Copies of this chain bind each other. A is one copy, B any other.
Amino acid sequence: MRTLHNIDLKNNERGFTLHWENRLILSHSAEAPCLWIGAGEADIEMFRGNFSIKDRLNEKIALTDATVTQQSAGWAIRFTRGDAVSATLRVGVDAEGRLELKLNNDATRHNRIWLRLAAQPEDHIYGCGEQFSYFDLRGKPFPLWTSEQGVGRNKQTFVTWQADCKENAGGDYYWTFFPQPTFVSTQKYYCHVDNSCYMNFDFSAPDFHELAFWEDNATLRFDGAETYVDLLEKLTDLLGRQPELPDWVYDGVTLGIQGGTEVCQQKLDVMRKGGVKVNGIWAQDWSGIRMTSFGKRVMWNWKWNRELYPQLDARIQQWKEEGVQFLSYINPYVASDKDLCEEAAKRGYLTKDADGKDYHVEFGEFYAGVIDLTNPEAYGWYKEVIKQNLIELGCGGWMADFGEYLPTDTFLHNGVSAEIMHNAWPALWAKCNYEALEETGKLGEILFFMRAGYTGSQKHSVMMWAGDQNVDWSLDDGPASVIPAALSLAMTGHGLHHSDIGGYTTLFGMKRSKELLLRWCDFSAFTPMMRTHEGNRPGDNWQFDGDAETIAHFARMTTVFTTLKPYIKAAVAQNAKTGLPVMRPLFLHYEDDARAYTLKYQYLFGRDLLVAPVHEEGRTDWTLYLPQDSWVNAWTGETCRGGEVTVDAPLGKPPVFYRQHSEWADLFSTLRHI
- Min CB distance, A303 to chain B, in Å? 42
A124-168 interface code vs B (CB 8 A; 1 in, 0 out): 000000000000000000000000000000011010010011000
Q: Which of A38, A81, A156 has the most CB of B within 10 A?
A: A81
- Min CB distance, A114 to chain B, in Å? 10
- CB contacts under 8 Å to B, within A525-557, are none
CB pair A59 B84 closer than 8 Å: no
14 contacts between A and B (CB under 8 A): A57-B60, A58-B62, A59-B61, A60-B60, A61-B61, A61-B84, A81-B84, A82-B84, A83-B83, A83-B84, A84-B85, A155-B164, A155-B165, A161-B161
Q: Which 3 A-B pairs have the closest CB atoms?
A: A82-B84, A82-B83, A84-B84
Distance A161 CA – B60 CA, assembled complex (angstroms): 34
Chain B residues whose C-beta falls within 8 Å of the C-beta of A82 in the assembled complex: 81-85
- Min CB distance, A31 to chain B, in Å? 10
Judge if A635 is at the interface, Cβ distance under 8 Å. no
CB < 8 Å neighbour of A38 from B60, B158, B161, B164: B60
Distance A648 CA – B62 CA, assembled complex (angstroms): 64
- Min CB distance, A63 to chain B, in Å? 10
CB < 8 Å neighbour of A59 from B60, B83, B158: B60
CB < 8 Å neighbour of A62 from B59, B83, B161: B59
Chain B residues whose C-beta falls within 8 Å of the C-beta of A164 in the assembled complex: 155
Query: Given A60-B61, A81-B82, A156-B165, 13 other A-B contacts at CB below 8 A?
Result: A36-B59, A57-B60, A58-B62, A59-B60, A59-B61, A59-B62, A61-B61, A81-B84, A82-B83, A82-B85, A83-B83, A84-B85, A158-B161
Chain B residues whose C-beta falls within 8 Å of the C-beta of A60 in the assembled complex: 38, 57-61
Distance A353 CA – B557 CA, assembled complex (angstroms): 61
- CB contacts under 8 Å to B, within A70-95, are 81-85
Chain B residues whose C-beta falls within 8 Å of the C-beta of A84 in the assembled complex: 61, 81-85
- Min CB distance, A109 to chain B, in Å? 10
- Min CB distance, A348 to chain B, in Å? 36
Distance A496 CA – B57 CA, assembled complex (angstroms): 40
Chain B residues whose C-beta falls within 8 Å of the C-beta of A38 in the assembled complex: 60
Instruction: Closest B residue to A82 by CB, please name it.
Output: B84
Chain B residues whose C-beta falls within 8 Å of the C-beta of A165 in the assembled complex: 155-156
Chain B residues whose C-beta falls within 8 Å of the C-beta of A62 in the assembled complex: 58-59
A24-66 interface code vs B (CB 8 A; 1 in, 0 out): 0000000000001010000000000000000001111110000
Instruction: Closest B residue to A81 by CB, please name it.
Output: B84
Distance A162 CA – B165 CA, assembled complex (angstroms): 14
Instruction: Closest B residue to A40 by CB, please name it.
Output: B60
- Min CB distance, A480 to chain B, in Å? 20
- CB contacts under 8 Å to B, within A83-111, are 83-85
- Min CB distance, A46 to chain B, in Å? 20
Chain B residues whose C-beta falls within 8 Å of the C-beta of A58 in the assembled complex: 60, 62
Distance A60 CA – B61 CA, assembled complex (angstroms): 6
Distance A62 CA – B39 CA, assembled complex (angstroms): 10
Distance A51 CA – B83 CA, assembled complex (angstroms): 40
